[in-house]
Amino acid sequence: VQLQESGPGLVKPSETLSLTCIVSGVSISNYYWSWIRQPPGKRLEWIGNIYYSGTTNYNPSLESRVTISLDTSKNQFSLKVGSVTAADTAVYFCAGGAGWLPGFWGQGTLVTVSS
């Protein structure tokens, strides 16, 4: 199983951060798919997850700005974070698992919010 995050490494303040996770080696069906981030010098933060049925769960701290979606035809899922600030600068990981536990992860991608 391989997961690969892709998307811009630099986003301007107040804009929308968009990332995609391309999944290979397993069907996106029948799993939970998560996004997790780690700001510099801080701990890992769970952003939310989506089940293959489309049901989503979000961290309340980010829920108002976050959307996670699936594209089963492309075997990938996506993250959007709106109205970003410097506090959203982080390494973003995509991950998957049979339940809520993220059992397999991508390597992560650094997204910097700066003008």
Partner 1 sequence: EIVLTQSPGTLSLSPGETATLSCRASQSVRSNYLAWYQRKPGQAPRILITGASNRAAGIPDRLSGSGSGTDFTLTISRLEPEDFAVYYCQQYGSSPLTFGGGTKVEIK
Q: Give the CA distances from residue 65 to residues 22, 54, 82, in Å, rounded to whole numbers and listed in that order.
A: 22, 18, 5
Interface residue with partner 1 among 10, 101, 110, 112 (CB under 8 A) is 101
Q: Which of residues 47-86 bind partner 1 (CB under 8 A)?
A: 57, 59-61
Region near partner 1 per CB under 8 A, out of 7-15, 72-80, 82-90, 103-111 = 103-111
Spatial CB neighbours of 56, under 8 Å, sequence gap ≥ 6? 48, 49, 50, 67, 68
Interface residue with partner 1 among 25, 40, 43, 114 (CB under 8 A) is 43
Binding residues (CB under 8 A) for partner 1: these are 3, 34, 43-46, 57, 59-61, 93, 95, 99-108
